[in-house]
C-alpha cells in the first residue's frame, strides 16, 4: 500500500471529546513547535477541522519559506 500523502493522518471522532480530531503523520520538530505549528487539531465539525488543517498547512508553507530563506543567507 502506498504511503499516504500530506502532513495529516486520517481524521477521526475522538472518544474523549466527541469532536473530529486529526494529528500530523509525524511528530513536529522543535523548530516547528517554536514557529507555532500544531500537531493536533480538533473542531466541532469536520468542515471546520478541514479549514483548520488548511490554515495550518498555510502556516507550514510560511515555515518552509522562512527556513529556506535562512539557509540561503548563511
Average pLDDT over residues 58-74: 87
Burial of 14-44, coded b for 16+ CB within 10 Å and e otherwise, reads eeeeebbbbbbeeebeeebeeeebebebbbe
Mean pLDDT, the chain, integer: 92
Q: What is the pTM of this model?
A: 0.86
**Cell 500530506, located at residue:** 6
Would you say residue 4 lies in a domain?
no
Q: Is the pLDDT of residue 70 over 80?
A: no
Reported as a single tens digit per residue, the pLDDT across 29-38 is 999 999 999 9
Please tell me the predicted confidence (pLDDT) of residue 5: 79
Domain that holds residue 61: 12-72
Would you say residue 1 lies in a domain?
no
CA distances from 13 to 5, 7, 16, 38, 48 (A): 21, 19, 9, 18, 13
Would you say residue 6 lies in a domain?
no
Would you say residue 37 lies in a domain?
yes
Q: What's the domain count of the chain? A: 1
Would you say residue 35 lies in a domain?
yes
Percent of the chain with pLDDT over 70: 91
Could you tell me the three cell numbers for 62? Answer: 510560511
Amino acid at each position: 500500500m502506498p504511503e499516504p500523502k500530506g502532513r495529516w493522518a486520517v481524521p477521526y471522532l475522538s472518544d474523549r471529546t466527541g469532536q473530529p480530531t486529526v494529528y500530523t503523520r509525524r511528530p513536529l520538530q522543535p523548530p516547528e513547535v517554536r514557529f507555532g505549528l500544531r500537531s493536533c487539531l480538533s473542531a466541532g465539525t469536520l468542515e471546520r477541522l478541514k479549514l483548520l488543517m488548511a490554515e495550518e498547512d498555510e502556516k507550514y508553507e510560511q515555515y518552509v519559506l522562512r527556513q529556506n530563506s535562512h539557509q540561503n543567507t548563511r
